[in-house]
Structure 1
Amino acid sequence: MTTRFAAAIAVAVAMPVAVWAVPAAAQNWNAQYAQTATGHRVGNPDADIQLIEYVSYTCPHCAQFEQESEAELRYFYVHEGQATVEVRHFIRNIVDIVAAVSAECGGADAFYDNHRMFLNSQDEWMERGRALSAAQQARWGAGDWGSRMRAIASDLDFYEMMEPRGLSRTQLDACLVDQSRAERIVAMSDANAAEFGVQGTPSFVLNGALLDGVHSWQGLREVLVATRETPPAALQ
């Protein structure tokens, strides 16, 4: 787990996918998206497993979690309707703000693909940030809000990343220069973290309880396996 951007800017052994005999799903719950009052949700809203992920886009462990968990979490638990996942932003720095605003630009249905893109390409755009000179990075804290946001997005190639996702430079600019949008994301991040006492990323809340000490797919997977083997009534 990491909580400092300075460390971030300066794959664990894969777990085998569990094989369980399950009935064929009536639908692909991965296609069921909703923007909630606290984040973005995918999956069956009535699933026995209600999972919240706290994610920072500049957290290397969050990117690792996304890559390691996708095959089983998304394409077994969520796909089969056994789990719903809500992603909540955990804002640690100005780059997190720019990435979160960009991920949310384009509507609720586009969020999860944008979200995965930022995490799966994190090594590339973080490397671009590390290659900047001190003078270049100084632009990130100079000028008005819009100038700072556009400078970060430009230096990290967010415009080029979002264009294939259907957002033109003008459309992304409209999201980035909207300071009230960013302020809402930061305020929501603070409120969401305070709700469960989340201190860093990635962190997970399962069925209303923070999983203390669980910050990886391996750790979360062990909890999910045990939860799935528990009769639903015992989870109440």
Structure 2
Amino acid sequence: MTPTKQSARSRRDLWLLGALGVVVAVLFAFLVVDRTGADETVKPASTPQIGPVGDMSRRIDGHPLAIGSVDAPVVMVAYSDYRCPFCAKFSRDTEPALIDKYVDEGILRIEWRDLPIFGEQSMAAARAGRAAAAQGRFWEYATALYAASPDRGHPDLTAEALRGFAATAGVPDLGRFDQQAAGPSVDQDIYADMLEANTIGVSSTPSFVINGTPVLGAQPIGVFEQVIEAAAGSEE
């Protein structure tokens, strides 16, 4: 072999080795990045998780029937009836603890949905709740009503009783409250909540959807804590 041919072969071999080295490096980098990306995508600890029902939140800033940051990683949608004794139990025993532990810390937002299933008084109470909300006293109204509810059976929510709860809640203009609570102006909003519940198969109260995970009934607080923390992406 002549020196010229030998030199050409050497240059070709060096080029092939160099090209092979680049290919190996690229493949190695791809595999490392792909594995790392896959691990981070499957279950990042800080990313909120969405359950099988899907995201039911509305996240309307300043909405009077919601409490907690609009940017909270977890939203609990609560389908409730004012004549439901188990809704009252949740309001008295569980909700305050969840507000203290999660809402006040910016982790949880609670969005109320009306689901009046116990007759005309339930519908009248839902209208009254919206009338209290129009004056910025919704949560106070719901708390006052549920605080007076019996442990069993359904309370007698007459127009006089509803007005009394509004007064206890500090609704400033009771004349305006009476007028709005007696009219059908908010019925479409209430029906929209009912339709939403029916769409996902919710027919009883209280029912909750926490970042897409359903929780039925006034469960022990530990159940809510477990679902909220899992939804927030908290590490065990």
Question: What is the CA distance between 1:209 and its match in structure 2?
Answer: 3.2
Structure 2 match to 1:232 = 233
Question: What is the CA distance between 1:75 and its match in structure 2?
Answer: 0.9
Pair 1:109-2:136 in alignment: yes
Change (3 A) 1:195 1:123: same
Q: Describe how 1:1-236 pairs up with structure 2 within 5 A.
A: 34-35=62-63, 40-92=65-117, 93-106=119-132, 107=134, 109-123=136-150, 129=156, 152-154=158-160, 157-164=161-168, 165-181=170-186, 183-211=187-215, 214-218=216-220, 221-225=222-226, 227-228=228-229, 232=233
Question: What is the CA distance between 1:189 and its match in structure 2?
Answer: 2.9
Unaligned 5+ segments in structure 2 are 1-59
Kindly report the root-mean-square deviation, in angstroms, between the aligned alpha carbons of the 2 structures. 3.0
Q: Counterpart amino acid of 1:114?
A: Y
- Runs of 4+ that moved beyond 4 A: none
Measured in 1, the distance between the counterparts of 2:174 and 2:67 equals 27
Measured in 2, the distance between the counterparts of 1:128 and 1:96 equals 10
Question: What is the CA distance between 1:210 and its match in structure 2?
Answer: 2.5
Q: Which has the larger radius of gyration?
A: 2
Q: Counterpart amino acid of 1:34?
A: G
Of the structure 1 ranges 187-196 and 45-54, higher mean CA displacement relative to structure 2 is found in 187-196
Measured in 2, the distance between the counterparts of 1:189 and 1:229 equals 26
What TM-score do you get using the length of structure 1 for normalisation?
A: 0.63
Secondary structure of the equivalent of 2:185? helix
Question: What is the CA distance between 1:226 and its match in structure 2?
Answer: 5.1
Measured in 2, the distance between the counterparts of 1:110 and 1:167 equals 9
Measured in 1, the distance between the counterparts of 2:69 and 2:167 equals 30
- Percent identical among aligned pairs is 20
What TM-score do you get using the length of structure 2 for normalisation?
A: 0.63
Question: What is the CA distance between 1:87 and its match in structure 2?
Answer: 0.9
Question: What is the CA distance between 1:193 and its match in structure 2?
Answer: 0.9
Does the Cα contact within 8 Å between 2:137 and 2:171 map onto a contact in 1? no
Change (3 A) 1:71 1:172: closer
Secondary structure of the equivalent of 1:114? helix
Change (3 A) 1:63 1:129: same
Question: What is the CA distance between 1:202 and its match in structure 2?
Answer: 0.5
Measured in 1, the distance between the counterparts of 2:70 and 2:130 equals 21
Measured in 2, the distance between the counterparts of 1:162 and 1:73 equals 24
Secondary structure of the equivalent of 1:187? helix
Q: Counterpart amino acid of 2:159?
A: A
Secondary structure of the equivalent of 2:195? helix
